[in-house]
Structure 1
Amino acid sequence: MADEYDYDLFTIGAGSGGVRASRVAAAHGARVGLAEEHRVGGTCVIRGCVPKKMLVYGAHFAEDLEDAKQFGWDVGECTFDWVKLRDNVLNDVSRIEGLYTETLENHDVDIFHERAELTGAHEITLASGKVVSAKHILIATGARPHVPGCDGHELGITSNEAFHLDAIPERVLIAGGGYIANEFAGIFNEFGAKVTIINRSDTLLRGYDHSLRDRLLQISIAKGIDFRFNAEFRGIEKTDEGCLNVSMTNHDDLEVDCVLFATGRVPNTEGLGLDAAGVQLGDKGEVIVDQFSKTNVDHIYAVGDVTDRVQLTPVAIREGQAFADTVFGGGEPVAVDHTVIPAAVFSHPPIAAVGMTESEARNKIGDIEVYQSDFRAMKNVVAGRNERSLYKMICEAGTGKILGIGMIGPESPEIMQAAAVAVKAGLTKADFDATTAIHPTMAEELVLLK
């Protein structure tokens, strides 16, 4: 590699994309340095999908223990210890962080636990004052929660702080209509909090099929979650009793104990020296890159949420892998296909989808066929829980090619992973029809759709 530089690659940010890129580049023989000012693992491992999924598991027990009575179990009086769950989750986060760090060290990646900034064409200055040079630079600094600029916004918290609460608030107001808002709404609701969601529009989970999001809204309301649509913050004030009084447009004031902002995420590009380096940024501060994750500066690349292409951990990992293989693998350039990406919302119950929604397909394709199954899971029937699942398959008329699949119901994300392979491969409804069902399962509905 290039001996005139200290490193062949220097990565800023040790999240999922940065870690994968650094490890793979090192495996290809590159000398790699990596700077992370917080903790190795990034948003997903430290304060995102990993600890959140653990809380989702914990929240499910609230209903499972109740349902168990209908299956003959006498579970007695149940109590919930938030601090115990919180600490167990945080301990496992530390364990995973250690594994990430060990993997990097085993590949001889130099880790600098401090902030880094571009201060020259190929120069990086660390917070300690140490200056290093690199032939290639990768920006993988991710994104952070957006906080509205209303009066008193500093009194609220974001998903970052939600994992460290000392207790479950009795009354929680969650701002936002996306996956983070709906996931934490389900978590706090199952833990006994009175949850209200405030959203500036009248649509939840924009981008998901209207049937799925309407079903989630119906079920959430039945579970006791309140919704205030077409509402924006006017301000937040602390009362003499230590509560929070929230004023908003189109609705009465609301007194709560906690306000959680889940109103989107902002790329972390400030203070990195990108302007001085000539790196082009978008309107939201995101790094603009081409199909190979290269910026307008030939030796500077970016992957993951900081590019604002698709803010999903598996996408960042694929982008990191493709970057390392392209720049250091010695073969043909590798571009990530950002189409037909499966995704899930770990709400209660969860939603999963891949490909086009019904509306998207009608607008883009025109002539389509829609198949669906609306049913109660067997477990819910015995438990006496009147909660229905919904599966939808969108196909191109004539050819039967599957354009998209969406579902809401227990274990939908687990089922969707395999179904996404079929959609990505371009299979047809006839291929699903020709597949023998596994009975009795929820997943069999996918091969029995009418």
Structure 2
Amino acid sequence: MIQTIDLRGRTLTNAELLALVPRSPSDIGSAQAAVAEIIADVRARGEDALFEQAERFDRARPASIRVPADEIAAAERSLDPRVREALVEAIARVRRGTAAQVPPEVRTEIAPGATIIQRWRPVDRVGLYVPGGKAVYPSSVVMNALAAQGAGVASIALASPAQEAFGGSVHPTILGAASLLGIDEVYAMGGAGAIGALAYGVPGIGLEPVQVITGPGNLFVATAKRAVTGVVGIDSEAGPTEILVIADETASPDLVVADLISQAEHDELAGAVLVTPSASLAEAVAARLPAAVAGTPHADRVRTALEGAQSAIVLVDDLQTACRFSDAYGPEHLEVQTADPHALLPQLSHAGAIFLGDHTPVSLGDYAAGSNHVLPTGGQARFSAGLGAYTFLRAQQIVEYDRAALQSIAHHVVALSDAEALPAHGAAITARFTEGEHPLD
């Protein structure tokens, strides 16, 4: 059911490890032409294009692209009590976790009379994308919205695909979660068209352009986010989900199996990887997967994901090599199920989020750990971070020198401006002093 990659007895360079990483065959470049056409259509025809795209891609036509405020409020009132209670608790936990991500303002005295203040300012307006497709994701509403709200963003627009089962509107559970978070600007639009609409605005429906777009989605959403980067900021080009488990002989094969399946049920392209120095654990996991998959409601989807090129059991010589392999992979979700998970942390740098020990499964982080579940995929964790308040913040330096502080450094500025053949830079310094107090005298 799942392939085995045996790396035991081999000394591999980082480049060789990168080449051996199992990946989904999806290619973001393959959708670029189609996405460019979809976005151009939205820019040219606005609301009409969005209606047509909803009918074409979602098989539903909304009564209006913007969801009425009373419908959003009604959706909150209609939430299943268990779901509402779970959302309220998740919101409280993620809000606490997000608050720790806002850096304080820092004032640094460079020299007497010379200061720099480092402050962080939120963008004014953001667009949050919540996917539809194979599942309903109120948890993504929570993760996206609280990160923006924690940063202090004042204006939030949320987009989610039109649902055929709900008359072309957004899924009511998504609307109910938005209402709990105080979001009343919601649009029934999905895919690349939604990303284009958020980036460029749609005057006909009162949709103003945003500055940052965040949230997971399919290949077309990821490609669209790449296409509008530079017009807006994005979190990452989130693709199919992935889990990598580092485990040793102390790990429970049943727990490893459960965790691999938990992420594989998202999508046929989801990646599920076990990296272990324990041949007995590898054999036990491989032996138990078929029955466990057969017993899960989304068995066909899970089986396809586990049989794909993106999933594997990887055998290594030791836990140090397991950590090197994980860093080469850069997993969205990394679980460490070993005798001493904390001992491996210094060797682990590249992961969207790390889950330590038998009682911290990725599923906890998907909903209510207090961490954010919008994380980089496809190896992007090697160079980018998951969603947080910092995604919506910009560092800004405020510089202030008094006259004496400027005079004390002026000769160095003039020397460097002369070295760069930019004498007017130096002249802007010396213009502030009379001849008798000239900083070069």
TM bin (shorter chain): under 0.3
Q: Which has the higher helix share?
A: 2
With CA pairs under 8 Å and 6+ residues apart, which has the higher RCO, 1 or 2? 2
Q: Which has the higher strand share?
A: 1
- Output the TM-score relative to the length of structure 1: 0.25
- Output the TM-score relative to the length of structure 2: 0.25
